[in-house]
């Protein structure tokens, strides 16, 4: 069991139980500090960790140079994410950050919205219903126009969700007063009280190629979205520029304009295409890879037909 320690707002670890006992014994951490056990849904005080209490003679020896608590590094990040913040459904994201896989617990007689074709596994008492979302707008955007609704009939159920693209996944809890705009291909799933609307971008989206065909997500509840490649969350206060093909999501506090990096010559010959110039205050999520760039990279390696 791995345990993360929160001391004065700073998280450390995760550590095995034996090391937490040692840190508690030598005074590096206090019994009143908060702790999160792997797989748990809530933070508890250190002295409430299961198995933390033990006889004094069973504690590991305290070294004169006891290791100090150091902040977690990227190598400490597990490949499984269980939420500790606000959320409506219990869930876990496995296989992060390369091939993220979402498992959601759905209470009895409640439903969950899921991207079309993303369901991988589900309990036998799950019933599926398909609804059209976005209509002609999303059809022109080249995206699926269907979102499936899965209902746990007669009791709680579980559903496993596998997005189409290999990459990372993130979760946001919408509190009813905020909105998030997603690239339409980034949507994975959401609570029933989260309204998912298409937002047609007209010629701006058409000329961007990869397209700023956005989904507006508002309401209250859980929202999950994914990327192709790794995901980076960037706080913006002022101006920030992102290539349109790397935009995954952004909050409603940000306004944007789509424009070319240079003139028409740059647009068609530089390989850079269009950029999204954000301004305001909020967050933007970007992806580190893009399918079209990968397709262009593999093009020289394609099999060649011999006409001789």
Whether 270 shows a pLDDT value over 80: the answer reads: no
Which candidate, 143, 115, 152, places its Cα nearest to that of 131?
A: 115
The whole-angstrom separation of Cα 188 and Cα 118 is 8
Question: What is the pLDDT confidence band of residue 262, given thresholds at 50, 70 and 90?
Answer: low
Mean pLDDT of all residues in 235-257:
92
Contact 131, 195 (CB under 8 A): no
Tell me which residue has tokens 């296989």: 95
Question: What is the pLDDT confidence band of residue 49, given thresholds at 50, 70 and 90?
Answer: confident
Which candidate, 100, 98, 92, 223, places its Cα nearest to that of 162?
A: 100
Q: State whether CATH 3.30.1490 applies to domain 2-76.
A: yes
Q: What is the pLDDT of residues 78-114, one digit of tens each?
A: 577 777 778 999 999 999 888 999 999 999 999 999 9
The whole-angstrom separation of Cα 52 and Cα 42 is 17
Question: What is the pLDDT confidence band of residue 308, given thresholds at 50, 70 and 90?
Answer: low
Return the pLDDT at 75: 44
Contact 276, 212 (CB under 8 A): yes
Question: What is the pLDDT confidence band of residue 199, given thresholds at 50, 70 and 90?
Answer: low
Return the pLDDT at 8: 79
The whole-angstrom separation of Cα 85 and Cα 122 is 25
Return the pLDDT at 58: 43
Question: What is the pLDDT confidence band of residue 286, given thresholds at 50, 70 and 90?
Answer: very high
- What kind of fold does domain 80-298 have according to CATH? Double-stranded beta-helix (3.60.160)
The whole-angstrom separation of Cα 84 and Cα 74 is 19
Percent of the chain's residues with pLDDT above 70: 75
Percent of the chain's residues with pLDDT above 90: 40
Question: What is the pLDDT confidence band of residue 203, given thresholds at 50, 70 and 90?
Answer: very low
Helix (H) or strand (E) holding 291: helix 291-298
Return the pLDDT at 201: 52
Mean pLDDT of all residues in 172-197:
92
- HSE at residue 143, side-chain half, CA atoms within 13 A, is 30
The tokens for 81 are 């994410």
With 0-12 CB in 10 A as exposed, 13-18 as middle and 19+ as buried, what is 112?
buried
Mean pLDDT of all residues in 11-19:
81
Q: What is the pLDDT of residues 115-173, one digit of tens each?
A: 988 999 999 999 999 866 544 344 444 444 578 999 999 999 999 999 988 999 999 99
Return the pLDDT at 119: 95
Of the ranges 71-75, 85-89, 299-303, which one carries the lowest mean pLDDT score?
71-75
For the chain, the structural domain boundaries read: 2-76, 80-298
| SS3 at position 57 | helix
Q: CB neighbours (10 Å) of residue 259?
A: 14
């Amino acid at each position: 069991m791995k345990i993360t320690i929160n001391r004065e707002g700073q998280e450390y670890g995760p550590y095995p139980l034996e090391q937490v006992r040692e840190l508690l014994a030598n005074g590096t951490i206090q019994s009143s500090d908060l702790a999160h056990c792997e797989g748990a849904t809530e933070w508890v005080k250190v002295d409430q960790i299961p198995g933390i209490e033990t006889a004094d003679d069973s504690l590991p020896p305290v070294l004169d140079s006891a290791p100090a608590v150091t902040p977690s590094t990227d190598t400490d990040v597990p490949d499984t994410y269980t939420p500790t913040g606000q959320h409506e459904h219990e869930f876990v994201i496995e296989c992060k950050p390369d091939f993220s896989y979402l498992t959601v617990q759905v209470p009895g007689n409640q439903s969950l919205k899921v991207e079309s074709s993303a369901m991988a596994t589900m309990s036998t008492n799950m019933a599926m219903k398909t609804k059209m979302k976005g209509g002609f707008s999303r059809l022109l955007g080249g995206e699926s126009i269907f979102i499936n609704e899965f209902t746990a009939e007669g009791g709680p159920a579980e559903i496993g969700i596998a997005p189409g693209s290999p990459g990372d996944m993130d979760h946001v809890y919408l509190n009813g007063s905020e909105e998030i705009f997603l690239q339409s291909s980034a949507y994975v799933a959401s609570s029933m009280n989260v309204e998912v609307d298409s937002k047609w971008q007209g010629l701006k989206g058409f000329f961007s190629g990869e397209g700023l065909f956005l989904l507006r997500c508002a309401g209250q509840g859980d929202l999950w979205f994914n990327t192709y490649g790794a995901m980076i969350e960037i706080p913006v206060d002022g101006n920030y520029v992102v290539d349109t093909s790397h935009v995954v999501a952004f909050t409603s506090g940000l306004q944007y304009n789509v424009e070319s990096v240079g003139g028409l010559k740059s647009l068609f010959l530089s390989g850079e295409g269009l950029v999204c110039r954000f301004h305001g205050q909020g967050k933007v999520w970007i992806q580190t890879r893009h399918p079209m760039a990968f397709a262009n990279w593999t093009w020289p390696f394609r099999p060649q037909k011999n006409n001789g």
